[in-house]
Structure 1
Amino acid sequence: MEEILPPLSFTRVHKSYIVSMQAITAIHGNTIELEDVQLPIGSNYKEEFIKRIER
């Protein structure tokens, strides 16, 4: 699935989750919010995720 999604619009935040960058409403430590859903940010993905957010 990850290979067919546009890499500028989606990112992996956990081994079980790929999210739309536009759907993220908040970031709290190791958790992201997508409207009313909270997802963990995996330790293996956090550094790359933070780099993507800071762009």
Structure 2
Amino acid sequence: MIDFEKALATLDTTHQLALLMTYRDRQGHAVTAAALGCSIGRSPTCSAPLAAD
């Protein structure tokens, strides 16, 4: 668990929220994408300010 928390802390807030909503809160990809203003189609698009990889 500590390794996960360390890795999570290295991500920007938007990516943290996406992971927490999807896996901790079990909201699913569609709900998480909608909350972040993203599409989960074949060509994902997102209006949320995601950091470059």
Which TM-score band applies after superposition, normalised by the shorter structure? under 0.3
Greater per-residue helix proportion: 2
TM-score (norm 1): 0.27
Greater per-residue strand proportion: 1
